[in-house]
Amino acid sequence: MSYSGSSLLGFVLGAVPEVWNLGEVKVFPREHRLGRICTCTRPTLECEYWGPLYQQGLTVFNRGSSWKRWEDTVRILLHRPVRAPKESGDARMLRASLEHAKTFEPQSKWLVDTSKSLWRLFALWYNPDIEVKIVYLRRGAKENVASYIKHGHSFGKAVREYGLFHRLSRLWLKKNAGDQVLELSHEDLALKEAEAMSKISQFLDLDYSQYKSQMASREYHIRTGNPRTVDQFRDGFKGFFYDEHWKELLNEKQQQYLDRRFS
């Protein structure tokens, strides 16, 4: 979910040698993003990880047509199965990404895609050549809506985005994901960090007991999402924190409305 802390969670998941964090794959390979600076401090095409991948003509699914998104929305709300998207090239792109990642970290076997897109998830989930595990990270209504407002959206749009995405995601995940999904709240990561990290370790069957020290020494190649996140936390990462800015960004009536609607 947007503004849920997924960029930071991606860095955390990618701290262990078995996991390679790609950031938001949905923006690959948009040309207008080539000016982005990777967290290795190099432009995309000069990055030793991303540069070679961009030379292979790889493509990925972003979000599809507006008609397909509308159809998927209606189908989910009516509890009908979503039609599998057309072949997108993701299997080839992810296969190439993993093989290339192994030249940096030989133990790599999982890739992290922090794209906040239910439509992209469908393209991955219904592709028989891709194995998917889902970490559904969400924030409370007040916290998430406040983040939307902080990024320039109106209160009304923020409520619509949060309400629709949350409802669609919960409906689809409950019906389709089974034991291949781990649902986490940002608040639990911040306030019950040890418990949340234990759940992640069990879900992925990986050891995250030393993830903070591993983050400090890991070189990431992230050029999407919120690349500044790693700069804020790599050196002496203390863990997630609970952001209470919503108390300043939302007035009393807005807070009460969100409590009534999403409680």
pLDDT of residue 238: 63
Q: pTM above 0.85?
A: yes
Residue 20 has pLDDT above 70, yes or no: yes
Residue 86: pLDDT band with limits 50, 70, 90: confident
pLDDT of residue 127: 94
In this structure, are residues 242 and 122 in contact, taking their beta carbons and an 8 Å threshold? no
The 8-class DSSP code of residue 37 comes to B
pLDDT of residue 256: 92
Q: Is the peptide bond before 128 cis (omega within 30 degrees of 0)?
A: no
Residue 88: pLDDT band with limits 50, 70, 90: confident
CA distance 115 to 22: 10
Element (H, E) at 121: helix 118-125
Q: Which residue has the tokens 């050891």?
A: 207
Residue 95 has pLDDT above 90, yes or no: yes
Domains of the chain: 6-262 (3.40.50)
pLDDT of residue 7: 82
Residue 257 has pLDDT above 60, yes or no: yes
* Backbone φ, ψ for residue 181 (5° rounding): -130, 140
Average confidence score pLDDT of the chain: 88
pLDDT of residue 186: 83
To the nearest whole percent, how much of the chain has pLDDT over 70? Answer: 91
Give 210-251 as a DSSP string: THHHHHHHPPP---SS-THHHHHHSTT--------THHHHS-
Q: What's the CA angle centered on 198, arms 194 and 104, to 5 degrees?
A: 105
Helix spans in 131-210 (H) = 141-150, 155-176, 186-191, 193-204
Residue 192 has pLDDT above 80, yes or no: yes
As given in the structure block, the two tokens for residue 4 are 């849920």
Poorest-pLDDT segment among 86-100, 185-199, 231-245: 231-245
CA distance 8 to 210: 16
The 8-class DSSP code of residue 185 comes to E
To the nearest whole percent, how much of the chain has pLDDT over 90? Answer: 52
pLDDT of residue 236: 55
Please give the average per-residue pLDDT across 19-33, as a whole number: 83
pLDDT of residue 71: 95
Residue 29 has pLDDT above 80, yes or no: no
Poorest-pLDDT segment among 117-121, 158-162, 237-241: 237-241
Please give the average per-residue pLDDT across 29-52, as a whole number: 83
Residue 91: pLDDT band with limits 50, 70, 90: very high
Please give the average per-residue pLDDT across 54-75, as a whole number: 91
pLDDT of residue 40: 86
Is residue 27 exposed (0-12), middle (13-18) or buried (19+ Cβ within 10 Å)? middle
pLDDT of residue 130: 96
